[in-house]
Amino acid sequence: MTTHFIEIPSPRPEAVVDDIPKLTLEWHIQDRTVTFKNPATKEKESKAILSDVHGIAAPGQFVAIMGPSGAGKSSLLDILSGRVKDFNGSVLVNGQKWDRRMTQCTCYVIQDDLFYHTLTVKEHLLYQADLRMAPSTTLAQREARVHAVMEQLGLLKCQDSFIGNASNRGISGGERKRLSLATELLTNPSILFVDEPTSGLDSFMAESVVHELQKLANEGRTVIATIHQPSSQIFAMFDMLYLLTNGRTIYYGKANQTVDYFKAKGLNCPSYMNPSDYFMREIIIADPSSTEKVGHLLDAWKNQEALQSEVSTEKLSDIVPMTDGANLHIGLMMQLKVLCQRNIRRLLRDKMAFRARFGQSIVIALLAGLIYLRLDMSQSAIQSYLGALFFITLNQGMLAANSEFVLIPLELPIMLREYEAGLYGSTMWYIAKNISELLVQFFFPMVFLLPLYYLIGFGRFSNDSTDLFFTFYLILSLVTSASVGIGYMVSCAVRRADLAPMIGIVTLMPFVLFGGLLVNTDDTPVYFIWLEYLSPIKYGYRALNRAFWTTIPSIPCAAGQRCAAVNGLQVLENASLNEHSLLYDSLLLIAINIGFRFLGLIALLFTVHKKK
């Protein structure tokens, strides 16, 4: 008989790990129907994406779910892993209903490997161990576990390499996939759900990742993976094959018996052809003749469907997950600490972003400093000073908000993934982000202000130039922080890196218009007054002006000349900037900052709620 398989030496049961609870998963799905709005007809439509789908996966088995595109593979995996609960039918673990405790014995390895690219492999795993492992574990135990999973998945040699991303080359695609697996293995799960572990990998990398999955199954775990176009070598590593087409099961059984099964149904896989390619071609529904052929195959499977795998006898009540069911989550303070530490480390590591922001601050400061270099105090200079102070406030506000418009949407998928894995609440992530990034909001205003202040010479007319400098610095830091608050609010609400900057600019523009220079406060239309109250630019600009002009006792005014103002106080009065004290504006900057951040949190909670 022609063989379609290549023998791959496999690390069989001698590697079985005793302390993994043995879990058998059994599913009987009558149907899963989705309702959606048809964009063409604008009508609501229902579509059955899975019907009459049954199966069983035992400990030690590596089950591959395959089928043409749209067959329902990911939908099935979502149901089996408990991510989707809206279906008719049941999913049982060792014969009992899936409960929350069991979730701790399973993991879901997603297709998109999402990481903070400036962390190293080992750092990423250590933070994950801090977040995932039971609070009763010691640091030494967590480090030992991280070392063990790195060793298990062949990541030791790249443990100190940056993970990287598309623009900063880091570890390879295969290593990223293995890192995704390693992350989930930290808690030693019994059942692994893996969504397309080989996508985007070359054949060698794909094989090495599937080999790791095979090893994990051989250790006594139940591994269920959706796989696209496996090579013959990869196909030979599957224990069980679950073939779906059009939302229905067309075959489920031993992978190495598939060829014989289909041969008996009249589909003889040609010698030396990859069996998976052959089946995919034969079970795809493309035209009326294939509809009829596939219909016969579906009926044939239905007639002989018998799930023979043995159900594990281990009782669910005896199973103690490694994460220690009673005390799964680390405390809130520990979550906050780990999230803050991780955020600070990844930000400090992002040297490119740091240099770009640093360079941007210096270049703009030098440019503005040279334009307004050592301005004299004269009637014509009043306008220039007002312009310089507005530009300084505007620049800090715009730059600070702008960078957040893009950064949060890029970070949200990582947060959502970790949130779904139950590592922390979204509020805790947001609080940690707010705290850990505060330092940055006080650093860059200093970089910007230091050269600019002395180039323009704001302190020349003051008795205490240093005091004025630090007043300027404090105001600019508060403007920066409030603008970051706007950035958080907009990006948490919009959630898309391509749209958030556009919406962000539209949000900022009214704050700029009513910032105090372009429209005199006394001339603001009544129906837009509320925008003035929310503008950090206005409070910042007004506070800077008050700090500066109160140091100007007189402005030269020649006899017969029409003078706009003869001292600083008059300038403030003419521009309607004399209404409130510096403390008042500073407190309002803090208040709107808290308000924007609070709205950002509400938007984030809404995003998370919608994802559920």
Angstrom distance (rounded) from CA 530 to CA 514: 10
> Least Å distance between CB 75 and ligand ATP?
3
- Beta-bridged to residue 288, according to DSSP, are none
Angstrom distance (rounded) from CA 106 to CA 329: 16
Contact status: 200 vs ligand ATP (CB under 6 A): no
Q: With 0-12 CB in 10 A as exposed, 13-18 as middle and 19+ as buried, what is 320?
A: middle
Residue count, binding to ligand ATP (CB under 6 A) = 12
Using the minimum distance from each CB to ligand ATP, give the nearer residue, 54 or 337: 54
> Least Å distance between CB 40 and ligand ATP?
14
Which positions from 60 through 79 interact with ligand ATP, judged by CB under 6 A?
67, 69-75
> Least Å distance between CB 69 and ligand ATP?
3
> Least Å distance between CB 35 and ligand ATP?
8
Which positions from 492 through 551 interact with ligand ATP, judged by CB under 6 A?
none
Which positions from 75 through 114 interact with ligand ATP, judged by CB under 6 A?
75
CA dihedral 563, 569, 574, 578 (to 10 degrees): 180
> Least Å distance between CB 247 and ligand ATP?
7
Using the minimum distance from each CB to ligand ATP, give the nearer residue, 75 or 483: 75
> Least Å distance between CB 494 and ligand ATP?
22
* Tokens describing residue 499: 């749209």
Using the minimum distance from each CB to ligand ATP, give the nearer residue, 34 or 563: 34
> Least Å distance between CB 107 and ligand ATP?
19
Using the minimum distance from each CB to ligand ATP, give the nearer residue, 37 or 562: 37
SS3 351: helix
Angstrom distance (rounded) from CA 96 to CA 25: 9
Using the minimum distance from each CB to ligand ATP, give the nearer residue, 38 or 268: 38
Which positions from 24 through 53 interact with ligand ATP, judged by CB under 6 A?
34, 36, 47, 49
Using the minimum distance from each CB to ligand ATP, give the nearer residue, 48 or 375: 48
Pick the closest to residue 608 from 493, 482, 516 (CA basis).
493
Contact 190, 106 (CB under 8 A): yes
Angstrom distance (rounded) from CA 445 to CA 448: 5
Q: With 0-12 CB in 10 A as exposed, 13-18 as middle and 19+ as buried, what is 277?
A: middle
Q: With 0-12 CB in 10 A as exposed, 13-18 as middle and 19+ as buried, what is 45?
A: exposed
Edge to edge, the sheet with strand 25-37 lists 44-57, 25-37, 88-93, 96-97
Binding mask 374-393 for ligand ATP (x = CB under 6 A): --------------------
Using the minimum distance from each CB to ligand ATP, give the nearer residue, 65 or 153: 65
> Least Å distance between CB 282 and ligand ATP?
16
Chain contacts with ligand ATP (rule: CB under 6 A): 34, 36, 47, 49, 67, 69-75
